Amino acid sequence: MQEKSKIWLSSPHMGGTEQDFVNQAFETNWVAPLGPNVNGFEEDLQKYIGEEKKVACLVSGTAALHLGLIQLGVGYGDEVLCQSFTFSASANPILYQGATPVFIDSEASTWNICPIALEEAIKDRIQKGKKPKAIIAVHLYGMPYLVDEVHEIANTYKIPILEDAAEALGSTYKGRNCGTFGTFAALSFNGNKIITTSGGGSLVCPDKKTKEKTVFLATQARDDAPHYQHSHVGYNYRMSNIVAGIGRGQMQILNKHVDLRRKMHAFYTDAFQNITGVEVLSAPTEDFYANHWLSSITVDPNQTKGLTREDLRIAFLEENIESRPLWKPMHLQPIFEKYPYYGKQVCEQLFKNGLCLPSGSNLTDNDRNRILSVIYRFFKKQ
Ligand SMILES: *Cc1c(COP(=O)(O)O)cnc(C)c1O
């Protein structure tokens, strides 16, 4: 029997014009970490998210978070509040700076940083003698966090927010684009994100001056002199003009891909509608417009006669369909478990019962039928 083709969680999906931009780079010999595609991609991103922001393209979303923290003045011994329920790349740059992460639980409606736990942590850290230097809030799976509530707390205590919008390009909150709420924000164009440049990211900066500073730091912090002169620590974080060419092509189909991912979410909402014990992460109100980068569910074994998300994951795997447990919270990771954590077990529970499902914009009707047949067969056991 022929092996069934693999259905991926989220795979690259080219629109068609990417190679033209890459070829242009070769034809004009702009094979360097600067050039017309880098400038063009930055302009495209600015036009998309809002022209009041200035975008600096970098080698990765992780590099963007790192340069964001540096510019928020985070240094050795400082504390940074960080959503625990996220990918490790949100938290690693805190350690790069020799600072201490303080992890915060999620709330159940968006799965993102909980304003109550956040405020409790801020008060407690201040009482313990140190006011946190920054807050890292994440729009996980493309679902905007509780922007109003979280920013109100940040404003009250005058702590800047570094917004991790790596998964949320194309998502909006009250009509405004994710990536424009924080003092700085990070975007990612890694291979599995909603648009990809194979690898890449950008830092969304509040103004021209901070963008210039970002580019300066990302290109080895060279002072203005004919020789190589340095008075700051520099980084080699600038995006290549080849990679940026892919990004320019991807920007042309971003909105189409957001629509297709949202259709995948609607497909799952429909598929699980009559299955007790399964919840699909969905916008809590009309203020939240998610790109649904990954459609994600929780499976409560108390309501499914004992069937768990792990059973479901294996059922998919047997049909060569990829699915994956939700992010394992940072405060449970060996590298981060010694750091403080404030919360009430919301993200622990999500990790225990949650699963990400195939969500790519390039899935076919045939793929959807294979997914559906696993779901129906699996829950028939109920
Ligand atoms: C992908 C991702 C990052 C890191 O982006 P890279 O471009 O892979 O470095 C950071 N935070 C979150 C939440 C992500 O999903």
Atom index in ligand 1 nearest the CA of residue 63 equals 9
**Does one domain contain both 211 and 244?**
yes
Q: How many domains does the chain have?
A: 2
For ligand 1, is residue 83 a contact (CB within 6 Å)?
no
For ligand 1, is residue 330 a contact (CB within 6 Å)?
no
Bridge partners (DSSP) of residue 219 are: 236
**Does one domain contain both 296 and 363?**
yes
**Does one domain contain both 68 and 207?**
yes
Domain boundary among 253, 269, 284: 253
Q: Which of 62, 85, 196, 296 to mutate to test the pocket of ligand 1 (most atoms within 8 A of CB)?
A: 62
For ligand 1, is residue 62 a contact (CB within 6 Å)?
yes
| 133 is an active site residue | no
Q: Which of 80, 38, 10, 28 has its CA nearest to residue 324?
A: 10
pLDDT (tens digit per residue) in 289-347: 999 999 999 999 999 999 999 999 999 999 999 999 999 999 999 999 999 999 999 99
Atom index in ligand 1 nearest the CA of residue 192 equals 1
Residue 2 maps to a domain: no
> How many A from CA of 84 to the centre of ligand 1?
14
> How many A from CA of 189 to the centre of ligand 1?
8
Phi first, then psi: give them for residue 354, nearest 5 degrees: -100, 150
Domain containing 225 equals 18-253
pLDDT band at 174; cut points 50, 70, 90: very high
Q: How far apart are CA 280 and CA 283, in angstroms?
A: 10
> How many A from CA of 90 to the centre of ligand 1?
7
**Does one domain contain both 245 and 286?**
no
For ligand 1, is residue 163 a contact (CB within 6 Å)?
no
For ligand 1, is residue 164 a contact (CB within 6 Å)?
yes
**Does one domain contain both 246 and 295?**
no
**Does one domain contain both 102 and 242?**
yes
pLDDT (tens digit per residue) in 11-35: 999 998 999 999 999 999 999 999 9
Atom index in ligand 1 nearest the CA of residue 65 equals 10
CATH of the domain at 129: 3.40.640.10
Q: What percent of the chain has pLDDT over 70?
A: 99
Kindly give the interhelix angle for 241-251 and 18-27, rounded to the nearest 10 degrees.
Answer: 150
pLDDT band at 3; cut points 50, 70, 90: confident
Q: Check: CB of residue 9 under 8 Å from CB of residue 242.
A: no
Residue 33 CB coordination number (10 Å): 19
**Does one domain contain both 37 and 108?**
yes
> How many A from CA of 16 to the centre of ligand 1?
25
Q: Which of 188, 194, 250 to mutate to test the pocket of ligand 1 (most atoms within 8 A of CB)?
A: 188
pLDDT of residue 179: 98
Residue 208 vs residues 203, 212, 332: alpha-carbon distances, Å: 12, 6, 39
Atom index in ligand 1 nearest the CA of residue 199 equals 7
**Does one domain contain both 122 and 271?**
no
Residue 3 maps to a domain: no
pLDDT of residue 382: 55
Residue whose Cα lies nearest atom 6 of ligand 1: it is 61
> How many A from CA of 139 to the centre of ligand 1?
11
Domain boundary among 190, 219, 253: 253
Residue 4 maps to a domain: no
> How many A from CA of 135 to the centre of ligand 1?
16
For ligand 1, is residue 167 a contact (CB within 6 Å)?
yes
Q: How far apart are CA 114 and CA 146, in angstroms?
A: 8
Residue 181 maps to a domain: yes
pLDDT of residue 4: 85
**Does one domain contain both 129 and 265?**
no
**Does one domain contain both 229 and 291?**
no
**Rounded mean pLDDT, 239-243:** 97
For ligand 1, is residue 190 a contact (CB within 6 Å)?
yes
Q: What percent of the chain has pLDDT over 90?
A: 97
> How many A from CA of 326 to the centre of ligand 1?
15
Residue 13 maps to a domain: no
Residue 12 maps to a domain: no
**Does one domain contain both 200 and 230?**
yes
Q: Is the pLDDT reported for residue 381 higher than 60?
A: no
Q: Mean pLDDT for the chain?
A: 96
Q: Which of 53, 133, 193, 213 is catalytic?
A: 193
Residue 11 maps to a domain: no
Q: Is the pLDDT reported for residue 1 higher than 70?
A: no
> How many A from CA of 64 to the centre of ligand 1?
9
For ligand 1, is residue 196 a contact (CB within 6 Å)?
no
pLDDT band at 380; cut points 50, 70, 90: confident
For ligand 1, is residue 86 a contact (CB within 6 Å)?
yes
The model carries a pTM of 0.97
**Does one domain contain both 190 and 216?**
yes
| Tokens coding 302 | 């108390």
CATH of the domain at 318: 3.90.1150.10
For ligand 1, is residue 197 a contact (CB within 6 Å)?
no
Residue whose Cα lies nearest atom 14 of ligand 1: it is 166
Residue 10 maps to a domain: no
Residue 316 CB coordination number (10 Å): 22
Domain boundary among 253, 276, 298: 253
Distant-in-sequence, close-in-space partners of 262: CB < 8 Å, separation ≥ 6: 290, 291, 292
pLDDT of residue 2: 57
Q: Which of 83, 95, 75, 76 has its CA nearest to residue 145?
A: 83
